[in-house]
Chain A
Amino acid sequence: MQIISYIFLIIGGIFYFLGGLGILRMPDTFTRIQAGTKATTLGSFSIMIGIAFQFPSWTFKLLLIIILIAITNPIGSSAIARATYRSKHIPKNLVQDDLKKEGE
């Protein structure tokens, strides 16, 4: 049980690290949104599961945190992407823009 918990904790730490690395290294804003929110969502799920394997009596609160993050984090990233698009901050190296064709 302890070993499974350690494996989940290491996976969570690696995904958090990759989220930070993607924030630093990606070229424009939309790819930074993609890298920053998806990787950290999976990392937080993995860390909560790893803690639940060590303390099984905390499972309810950890499940509550997982549901809360699964609802709020995609909404937040979608709100940032929408605000970035509508505030005319579109990056220069964007190849295809489907929303512009739909709007006209």
Chain B
Amino acid sequence: MINIIVFSLLGIGLLFTMIRFIIGPSLSDKVVSLDTFNMIIIGVIAMLALIFQSELYLDITIIYSILAFLETVVFARYVEGKKDANH
């Protein structure tokens, strides 16, 4: 029961970030929403480790957080390089 409540809260948060990713006015809004999306996905994978009672999902969480950080930094450098982009 508690797991269903936590998963639905995470799912509503994911839905909101995806809406912002689609309608975001500028490029940096999309990068911010992608960063938040990755953080919520980390929470979802950790909750999957709790439900299936398997420690392997925590390894996936570690690798995913490193890749999400790299992705955020690379997209931030890309936004910084484009001087006059509106979308």
Q: In the bound complex, do residue B13 and residue A17 qualify as a contact, i.e. CB atoms below 8 Å apart?
A: yes
Q: What is the interface of chain A mostly: helix, strand, loop, or mixed?
A: helix
Task: Tell me the A1-36 residues at the B interface (CB within 8 Å).
Answer: 6, 9-10, 12-14, 16-17, 19-21, 23-24, 29, 32-33, 36
Cβ-defined contact, B36 with A68, below 8 A: no
Q: How far is the CB of B11 from chain A (nearest CB, A)?
A: 9
- Measured as residues with beta carbon below 8 angstroms from the partner, the interface class of chain B is 35 or more
Q: Check A65 against B35 for contact (C-beta < 8 Å).
A: no
Cβ contact of A76, chosen from B49, B59, B69, cutoff 8 A: B69
In the bound complex, CA of A73 to CA of B72 (Å)? 9
Min CB–CB distance A6 → chain B (angstroms): 5
Nearest residue in A to B23 (C-beta to C-beta)? A24
1/0 per position for A44-59, CB-CB distance to B under 8 A? 1001100100110010
A22–B26 Cα distance when bound, in Å, is: 17
CA separation between A44 and B77, bound complex, in Å? 26
Question: A residues within 8 Å of B by Cβ?
Answer: 6, 9-10, 12-14, 16-17, 19-21, 23-24, 29, 32-33, 36-37, 40-41, 43-44, 47-48, 51, 54-55, 58, 61-62, 64-65, 68-69, 72-73, 75-77, 79-80, 82-84, 86-89
Q: Does the CB pair A17–B76 fall under 8 Å?
A: no
**What CA separation (Å) do A51 and B73 show in the bound complex?**
29
**Distance from A3 Cβ to chain B, minimum over Cβ atoms (Å):** 10
Smallest CB gap from B50: residue in A? A51
Partner of B39, one of A14, A19, A24, A87: A19
Kindly provide the distance from the CB of B78 to the nearest chain A CB, expressed in whole angstroms. 8
